[in-house]
Structure 1
Amino acid sequence: MTEDFYDILGVSRDASDEEIQQAYREAVREYHPDVSDDPDAEEKFKKAKTAKEVLTDDEKRRMYDQMGHEQFVEAEKRGATDSGRGGAGGMGGMGGMGGGGPFGDMQDIFDQFFGGGGGGGRNRPRQGQDLKTSLEIDLEEAYHGVEKQMDVRRPEQCSDCDGRGHPPGTDSQTCPECNGQGQTTTVQQTPFGRMQSRQTCRRCEGEGTIYEETCSTCGGNGVVRADATLTVEVPAGIRDGQTLRMDGEGAPGERGARNGDLLVEISVADHPDFEREGDDLYTNAPISFPQAVFGDTIQIDTLDGTVELEIPDGTQSGEQFRLRKKGMPRLQRRGQGNLYVQVQVVTPESLNADQKEALEQFAEAGGEEIEVEQGFFDKIRDSL
């Protein structure tokens, strides 16, 4: 078998257990020897079943991802002897990791492959998978904090069978393959002693019980996809790209284990008037030529109302002023950033007769021979 287990089932390497189970069920419907006309159906069915058993076992999947397909398959064929020897050099130098030398990492691999003394398999409670989604808010909402409602489609426990995978009252019997243990055990003699290899029972898939009927709603998986409306509490000061964790709102756990969490990545939309850098905000404010020359008090819009800014006389276009603590709240800390205001001197596009006369007198008083009609303001603009 040279195919990658992920390729056999047609799933990505970060596929969830639910996605893997769904892919396996599709493979069963297509390649089960009792229903398929494909001459290679039996072989394809076996490959799909093997892939599913490895990828739905947390410990085996970790080992498979670490070792790669070929070395993992060889380890299963040859047992602990070849798997252990590979730790020193045959696994791409893994033995040098963790400061424990080759035998330190080899023991980790043994723990993963043989159950680690704690017992692997699917018959123990297992926490549900974490799920991810995204939510966009505007800068005002990031400033004040906001409570948002969000619609998500997620796996939930099947209500028709209460997550059991079979209808209530379905006839059942103890699995004869594992005697109700959910696991089968193989004893192997190695240079390190007798090793016990525990694997999920292939017949009952770790349940320990075989049921005569599966739930038609969830296909025996105990989980269905459903729409849910959730309320997200977005704290003030959150930044673009940060993630909120909603406890217990992820995929349902197995056999009574807790649900996973829902991770919500926050996207803060651009604002037409403000730019953000960390907790500081930046904006522009127009002022007239007389305001720049003589000084003035102007009104500045912030995300929390209007404040006054004193413009001193002789202010130059492009000069920047700081308004302390008028920026973004500091997330989970006291205080706020600053608001930086860059002023721009606005040149009027047209003047009346009195304005032209006044500016001509201003120019003459400065010893400049300038005709206003010939681009006086253009020259002022160029000099700034």
Structure 2
Amino acid sequence: MPDDPYKALGLKKTATTDEIKKAYRKLVRTSHPDLHPDDPAAEARFKSIGTAYDILKDPETRARYDAGEIDGLGAERPKREYYRDFANASDNVYQQRHGYGSQGDPGDIFADILRNRARGAGGGGGGGFGGGFSAPGPDARYTLEVAFLDAVRGAETRITLPDGQGLAVKIPQGTEDGQTLRLRGKGQPGFGGGPAGDALITVTVSAHPVFRREGDDILVTLPITIDEAVLGGKVSAPTVDGPVGLTIPKGASSGQTLRLRGRGVAKAGSKTKGDQRVELKIVLPPEVDASLSDFLAEWRKTHPYDPRVDLLKGAAT
């Protein structure tokens, strides 16, 4: 596992928060072992990606890594002191919970330091940890595909763990594609009686045939007839909460966008919703009859109009 989280995500140290999130989402899809069962290196890459993202997504943790206070696994870096001073320091992050006492063996102390630094690399119980040492268990990582509307509205589901047991997962409303949910205490067992780690579940939101999402807004392409475009009128438009009435203005064009306020996505714990943007698309009937063709032929003779004039002028400059 690379010690440098920036390298693990293919980023520079100047990367923005948005760039970090985009890189992580892209790599999750290309490295998750469930999605690439024939790639023996996928699991190691996925763990490396997850650890790197956990460090860089939090500005405070990222700043501590950049300052050299923690390493690429998120473990505290020891101060440069003699080992006896370091082991007995009151702020020693590797100090055993139950302690070795003033006569502790320095070899045992450093053995526990090494185990603590490497605990994220493997599981196991606490049987091999003597001297009263205890530590939290490693986090467990899973992926979960969620239907588009379940991610928007919120839902509850279950995933099956490798040992066959089921785990209940609550999908908060407004969950985004690539978002990681944390279930406290649902990871690997702790060491020496320590608490279990967490379950980190990366959500993949499936595509929807009608709705698309952009931030907290929902996007829909709405077909309208030629007479609705010319004359205007009221039509039904789908939203994530069910169909609503929408007024088409007279003289509407394909590509014109109407906005339905508050018909978008609400994040968990927020009362504010995004909007729904409705892009109009004029659709002709399957068959154009003679009366419509004759009418438009006569209309064209007396109403010359070229909507491409400005486009061609702009292309020539």
* Band of TM-score, shorter chain: 0.5 to 0.7
- Deviation string for 1:130-178 (max 9, x for gaps)? 111111101110122111110012xxxxxxxxxxxxxxxxxxxxxxxxx
Question: Gaps (5+ residues) in structure 1?
Answer: 1-11, 15-95, 99-103, 154-225, 369-378
- 1:243-274 deviation line (CA, Å, top 9, x unaligned): 11111111112332221111111111122222
Matches within 5 A, 1:51-130: 105-107=79-81, 110=83, 114=87, 116=89, 118=95, 119=99, 120=109, 121=112, 122=129, 123-130=132-139
Higher Cα radius of gyration: 1
> In structure 2, how many angstroms separate the alpha carbons of the residues matched to 1:105 and 1:113?
7
- Distance (Å, rounded) in 2 between the aligned partners of 1:381 and 1:331: 46
Q: Which residue of 2 aligns with 1:179?
A: none
Structure 1 CA distance for aligned equivalents of residues 89 and 236 of structure 2: 69
Paired residue type of 2:137? G
Change (3 A) 1:105 1:126: closer
Deviation at 1:359, TM superposition (A): 2.2
The answer to whether 1:133 aligns with 2:142 is yes
Contact 1:149 1:229 in 2 (8 A): yes
What TM-score, normalized to structure 2? 0.57
Distance 1:262 1:268 in 2: 19
Q: Conserved in 2, the CA contact under 8 Å of 1:292 and 1:313?
A: yes
Figure out how many residues of one structure are paired with residues of the other and give that number: 204
Partner of residue 145, structure 1: 154
Provide the rounded CA distance (Å) in 1 between the counterparts of 2:272 and 2:148: 18
Q: Of Structure 1 and Structure 2, which has the larger fraction of its residues in strand?
A: 1
- Tell me how far apart the structure 2 counterparts of residues 349 and 139 of structure 1 sit (CA, whole Å): 31
Distance (whole Å) between structure 2 residues aligned to residue 150 and residue 354 of structure 1: 59
Instruction: Report if aligned partners of 2:211, 2:219 keep a CA contact under 8 Å in 1.
Output: yes
CA contact (8 A) 1:347 1:381 kept: no
What is the CA–CA distance in structure 2 between the aligned matches of 1:146 and 1:382, rounded to whole Å? Answer: 51
Q: C-alpha separation between the residues in 2 aligned to 1:318 and 1:111?
A: 72
The counterpart of 2:244, out of the listed 288, 303, 307, is: 307
CA contact (8 A) 1:97 1:105 kept: no
* Aligned mates of 2:181, 2:293 — CA distance in 1: 60
Q: Is the 8 A contact 1:328 1:338 kept in 2?
A: yes
Displacement of 1:110 after TM fit?
A: 3.6
Query: Closer, same or farther in 2 for the Cα pair 1:281/1:148, shift >3 Å?
Result: same
Gaps of 5+ in 2: 4-66, 70-77, 100-108, 113-128, 312-317
Q: Is the 8 Å Cα contact of residues 110 and 116 (structure 1) preserved in structure 2?
A: no
Q: Secondary structure at the match of 1:355?
A: helix
Shift of 1:354: 2.0
Partners in 2 of 1:356 and 1:124 — Cα distance?
A: 86
Aligned-partner Cα distance in 2 for 1:255–1:293:
75
Structure with the larger RCO, 1 or 2 (CA within 8 Å, 6+ apart): 1
Q: Which 10-residue stretch deviates more, 248-257 or 259-268?
A: 248-257
Percent of residue pairs identical: 31
In the alignment, is residue 340 of structure 1 matched against residue 286 of structure 2? no
1:250–1:356 Cα change, 3 Å: same
What RMSD, in angstroms, separates the aligned Cα atoms of the two structures?
3.1
